[in-house]
Amino acid sequence: MTQHKIEISGVSKWFRRNGEEIAAMRETNLSIEAGRFVSIIGPSGCGKSTLFNIIAGLMPPSTGKVLADGENIIGKTGYVGYMLQKDMLLPWRTILDNIILGMEVRGVPYQEAVRRALPLMEKYGLKGFDKHYPKELSGGMRQRAALLRTLLYDRDIILLDEPFGALDAQTRLTMQNWLLQIWQDFGKTVLFVTHDIDEAIYLSDDIYVFSSRPGRIKSKITVTMDRPRKTEDMTSPAFMELKHHLMDLLSAGHEEEPISS
């Protein structure tokens, strides 16, 4: 079963640490429409990964609901594809065997999985690397492999938690264009976490700005720049205007918020 739209309503999260309740995320409502590229940007510790873990069904929220096409998916894994900053490739498996892992988990027979994976590897920059091991690849190549694995898990919604955070600036630009190409080709709905304002603007249709912990949505910004976007767009006046706006929003929220218990 595929899911197109995710609605998050009234979701909040507290953790109990040393007998004390710590608020990680205040009540959050957001709706992710099919096919959109949506980014979340905010300071470290504002609850972005917590929100992703809740959407992915890996962690229950303290309050609220997560609906996928109207069905409550709290505590249910497998409704969305999820990729972390760290590529999480298994070092003892070849790149091909890593890429087909998601399909394997879903019960696709090995030969069929290989038949689906190889053309994508060829098209998306991993041609000839099927028998290599992760340690033989650059950081950017490993992220390509991890993302192809997430894509082949074949969910309509994919969560990407700072996938390019550890890459150098040049590789990051290449990977951003690569991701936009994939997003266009596959028509997935993407929810993307980043710390990087340029990256958020360049990639997104919508940007949610989170406050510092306990996180809450401070603003939603819609990026109307034409697609396909090009690297040069990052220096256009429209881009700069949005960037200043986001910088203001982020710096305004940087004073420490009191921790409610």
DSSP code for 233? G
Question: How far is the C-alpha of 69 from the C-alpha of 79, rounded, in Å?
Answer: 11
- The DSSP annotation for 52-91 comes to HHHHTTSS--SEEEEEETTEE-TT--SSSEEE-SS----T
Which of 2, 10, 33, 45 is the binder for ligand ADP (CB under 6 A)?
A: 45
Q: Would you say 106 and 99 are in contact if contact means Cβ atoms under 8 Å apart? A: no
What φ, ψ does residue 8 adopt, rounded to 5°?
-115, 120
* Residues 201-220: x where in contact with ligand ADP by CB under 6 A, - otherwise, as a string: ------------x-------
Query: What's the closest the beta carbon of residue 196 comes to ligand ADP, in angstroms?
Result: 14
11 binds ligand ADP, rule: CB under 6 A: no
How many Cβ atoms sit within 10 Å of the Cβ of residue 186? 14
- Parallel/antiparallel/unpaired status of strands 6-17 and 63-68: antiparallel
Question: How far is the C-alpha of 53 from the C-alpha of 72, rounded, in Å?
Answer: 15
15 binds ligand ADP, rule: CB under 6 A: yes
22 binds ligand ADP, rule: CB under 6 A: yes
Binding region for ligand ADP (CB under 6 A) out of 44-52, 145-153, 218-226, 246-254: 44-52
24 binds ligand ADP, rule: CB under 6 A: yes
Query: What's the closest the beta carbon of residue 53 comes to ligand ADP, in angstroms?
Result: 7
Query: What's the closest the beta carbon of residue 210 comes to ligand ADP, in angstroms?
Result: 7
In the Cβ-directed half-sphere of 156, how many Cα atoms lie within 13 Å?
13
Q: Would you say 47 and 61 are in contact if contact means Cβ atoms under 8 Å apart? A: no
Binding region for ligand ADP (CB under 6 A) out of 15-23, 92-100, 228-236, 243-251: 15-23
Nearer to ligand ADP, 83 or 137 (CB): 83
60 binds ligand ADP, rule: CB under 6 A: no
Q: Which residues bind ligand ADP (CB under 6 A)?
A: 15, 17, 22, 24, 44-50, 213
